Amino acid sequence: MSKLRVHMFTVSLDGFGAGPDQSLEHPLGVGAEAMHGWAVKTRSFKTLFGRDGGETGVDDDAVARGVENIGAWILGRNMFGPIRGEWRDSDWKGWWGEEPPYHSDVFVLTHHARAPISMKGGTTFHFVTDGIHAALERARASAGARDVRLGGGVQTIRQYLQARLVDELNYAIAPVLLGRGEHLFAGLDLTALGYRCTTHQGSADAYHLVLTKQ
> Can you give the pLDDT at residue 115?
94
Amino acid (1-letter code) at residue 32: A
Q: Which residues sit opposite 203 in a β-bridge?
A: none
CB distance 212 to 170 below 8 Å: no
Q: What is the pLDDT of residue 169?
A: 98
Per-residue pLDDT at 120: 94
Q: What is the pLDDT of residue 70?
A: 98
d(CA 159, CA 90): 27
Q: Which domains does the chain have, with CATH numbers?
A: 4-85+97-213 (3.40.430.10)
pLDDT of residue 180: 95
pLDDT of residue 97: 87
Which residues of the chain have a pLDDT value below 50?
none
Cβ(181)–Cβ(18) below 8 Å: yes
Global pTM reads: 0.94
Segment 12-22, tens digit of pLDDT? 999 999 998 87
Look up residue 3 and give its DSSP letter: P
- The per-residue pLDDT for range 92-110, each reduced to its tens digit, is 888 888 999 999 999 999 9
Q: According to the model, what pLDDT value does residue 27 have? A: 80
pLDDT, residue 35, reads 95
pLDDT tens readout for residues 143-163: 999 999 999 999 999 999 999
pLDDT of 24: 76
* Residue 120 near residue 98 (C-beta atoms within 8 A): yes
> How many degrees, rounded to 5, is the angle at CA 93 between CA 90 and CA 95?
135
